[in-house]
Amino acid sequence: MDYFLDDFQKELVEQARRIGKEKIRPVAADYDRDGTFPWDLVKVFADAGFYGLWVPEEYDGLGRGILDLVLVTEELSKYCGGISLSVAASALGTFPIIISGNEEQKKRFLPRLAAGEALAAFGLTEPSAGSDAGAIQTRAEKKGDKYILNGTKVFITNGGAAKIYTIVANTDPGKGTRGASAFIVEDGTPGFSYGKEEDKMGIRASATRELIFEDCEIPAENLLGREGEGFMVAMKTLDKSRPGVAAQALGIAAGALDLSVQYARQREQFGQSIIQFQAIQNMIADMSTEVEAARAMLYATARMIDGGVKSYSRESAQCKVYASDVAMKVTTDAVQIFGGYGYMRDYPVEKYMRDAKITQIYEGTNQIQRMVIARHLIKEAQKNS
């Protein structure tokens, strides 16, 4: 199918596919089993220019956009949803700087991130603030030309691997979400340490870790935007990054579909390959249709964002919800097609099913995303009534 990609994007997909086949597929099971971070593959991704795709050219990036991030994330996720996350999660951590950073901050941090010399991570979630992002307790108190951070962030993707963190903390707790501010915190800053490294069900090749701030002093110039804009920065960041989660989910689903078709052609029962049975044909037909529908929605949303549309919160939520639900359904069906072998770790599809589940949870649970979608529809109806 022609997705109307330009020549650069077509080559980008081919490049990601080659890396997936040659570099990721042979080691994906090992990284999943050991739960180690794929530093060797981060170097491969950096050499390929993947970390510079979404960074503007004036800061040594390629000046591309969300669709290019989506294309790379989808293709890499066909081979391992965890390994691909080192790219998408760094984009998530970089977006706040692109969205709200001043010129000095952009010149200081973006070139390193574009080159893949440093990874980024985004710190919003806390033990008592998951879906309720406005309930964050991490405190940032200004003293002279510094801010003193105290608090804990949990479930932070790229945690411990990243060198640059964008952190949301309260500068004025009495104002609720209007009292939150966003900061850039560098690895190695005194008072900043790492806590528990999570032992996850899926995406085990990604780093997920607790961040601890104990009287952590950061310079005042590391404030992103102005005090009180942190919640707005976070919401704009997530709107922009959710297509990346959708792309990860889509890639996992597409990879599981490919494996299912290959297996069904080879597996014989009752004297013929199981792909000859109508029940299996119906399953793979539905799987393919759902994958293509998710891809169409995702690419359309990415093009909308790249096209400069100001408001895309609803569309971003919709593609994340749909693609992640498709990933869970398609990978479950893939395990079913593989039968008993699908349940065993000797075969790859059980990993795809485990990897798919997180896409329904992080960067806003699908239940929260449906609330976001509904609220936008209600506002649009009120506006047009």
Cβ-count burial 43-58 (b if 16+ within 10 Å, e if not): eebbebbbbbbbbeee
Domains of the chain, CATH where assigned: 7-118 (1.10.540.10), 121-228 (2.40.110.10), 232-378 (1.20.140.10)
Residue 253 amino acid letter? A
Per-residue pLDDT, 215: 98
Record the tokens describing residue 64, joined without a space: 């591309």
Per-residue pLDDT, 132: 87
Phi, psi of 235 (to 5 degrees): -70, -40
Give tens-digit pLDDT for 71-83: 999 999 999 999 9
Interstrand relation of 268-269 and 272-273 (parallel, antiparallel or unpaired): antiparallel
Give tens-digit pLDDT for 185-218: 999 999 999 999 999 999 999 999 999 999 999 9
Record the tokens describing residue 57, joined without a space: 């050219």
Per-residue pLDDT, 179: 95
Per-residue pLDDT, 123: 98
Q: Which residues pair with 180 in a beta bridge?
A: 170
Phi, psi of 120 (to 5 degrees): -115, 160
Query: Residue 124 in contact with residue 331, Cβ under 8 Å?
Result: no
Query: Residue 333 in contact with residue 14, Cβ under 8 Å?
Result: no
Q: Is 363 a catalytic residue?
A: yes
Per-residue pLDDT, 307: 97
The parts of the chain modelled with pLDDT lower than 50 are none
Count other C-beta atoms under 10 Å from residue 313's C-beta: 18
Catalytic residue among 22, 126, 363, 380: 363
pTM: 0.97
